[in-house]
Amino acid sequence: MRWLSVAVALLLAACQPAPKQFQQESFVFGTRVDVLVWGEPQDKARAAVNDVLAEFDRLHRTYHAWQPSELTALNTAIAAGHSITVAPELAQLVAEAQALAARGDHLFDPGIGALINLWGFHDDSFKAVLPDPDQLTALVKAKPSIADITIDGLRIASRNRAVALDFGGYLKGVALDHAMAIMKRHGIASALVNIGGNVMALGSKDGTPWRVGIQSPRSTAPLASLDLRDGEAIGTSGDYQRYFDLNGRRYSHLIDPRSGEPAQGTQAVTVLITPRPQAGMWSDVASKPLFIAGADWRAMAEKLGITQVLRVDAAGKIEVSAALRPRLTMTPES
């Protein structure tokens, strides 16, 4: 497994060490996390970073998809056909994810947790084994979707017992937005937060934008680099993060709800989100329906209002939207 879809660490390594920089790494959300603060006293930077990492840990534990959590308690109630009263934050996340899924024609659908589990991706390691075909057929026929969820205040139920919520394609982006809010509360003006390739920038390095790279899905080298400006976020969905290979075919965790199988036709999709409310969240969510849409990614991007996209198709061909092209510096490899 390659940790970074966006090769931030590679490019930061070229920077000269400076006392202005405070950086700390962790492992949360099943991936590597890097938090960097620039231009602040070490104690002030450390306090901010510690609060950010504590928040990441809270989100990870509270909304874990298969270890005991508030989310698994909700899924257990749904499977039993019961309604359940949840915390305000969870009710808000479910409502928000429901609206986002509808905007992307449910190609991104957090209600398909049972499908993700059936393919073996509810685990920290994945075995090269296909799911039982009868179970897969039955689950696809049941058509689980977050659209089946009903929310009445803090009371949540589902019309479909096959629904199981999984925020794996959503929570990292939420965490980025929380991280930026925490940084600002600490009076931090310049920071870069990277959660497994979902990256968000605050400020700059003494007036110089943060430089990040977009990793090739089939090598450790970057395809391109760009300047990430204040308030911007970038995110990548790829078939090289959580996957297994079997009989010459790659099966990734990016499941197409229509077929119940891992999406084919795309190696990676990167989106650049310009400053806006919930930019971090959009950097995580928007790449999923574009990845699953395959050759129809441009129409989906227009539907979502996403203008800056880089896609690598199954053959390795690179496609770049007109709005993103001027921002990129392509590498000789690409």
Domains of the chain: 8-57+172-330 (3.10.520.10), 70-158 (1.10.3980.10)
Compute the half-sphere exposure of residue 308: CA atoms within 13 Å on the CB side of its CA: 20
Quote the pLDDT of residue 18.
52
Do 309 and 271 form a contact (C-beta atoms < 8 A)? yes
> Which H helix or E strand runs over 156?
strand 155-158
pLDDT score, position 24: 97
Contact at 8 Å (CB) between 192 and 24? no
d(CA 257, CA 104): 12
Neighbours of 75 (CB within 10 A): 21
Residue type, 118: L
pLDDT of residue 135: 98
Residue 320, CA distances (Å) to 162, 223, 272, 282 in order: 38, 12, 11, 19
Q: At residue 276, what is the residue type?
A: R
Phi-psi region of 39 (alpha: psi -120 to 50; beta: other; left: phi over 0): left
The reported pLDDT for the residue numbered 16 is: 47
pLDDT of residue 332: 78
What's the pTM value of the predicted model, to 2 decimals? 0.92
> pLDDT in tens for each of the 334 residues of the chain?
333 444 454 454 444 455 689 999 999 998 999 999 999 999 999 999 999 999 999 999 999 999 999 999 999 999 999 999 999 999 999 999 999 999 999 999 999 999 999 999 998 777 899 999 999 999 999 999 999 999 999 999 999 999 999 999 899 999 999 999 999 999 999 999 999 999 999 999 999 999 999 989 998 888 999 999 999 999 999 999 899 999 999 999 999 999 999 999 999 999 999 999 999 999 999 999 999 999 999 999 999 999 999 999 999 999 999 999 999 999 876 6
Q: Which helix (H) or strand (E) is 202 found in, with range?
A: strand 198-202
Phi, psi values for residue 73, rounded to 5°: -65, -40
Q: What is the DSSP letter of 112?
A: B
pLDDT at residue 220 in the model: 84
- Residue 330 DSSP class: E
> Which residue is associated with the tokens 């969820």?
149
Neighbours of 17 (CB within 10 A): 8
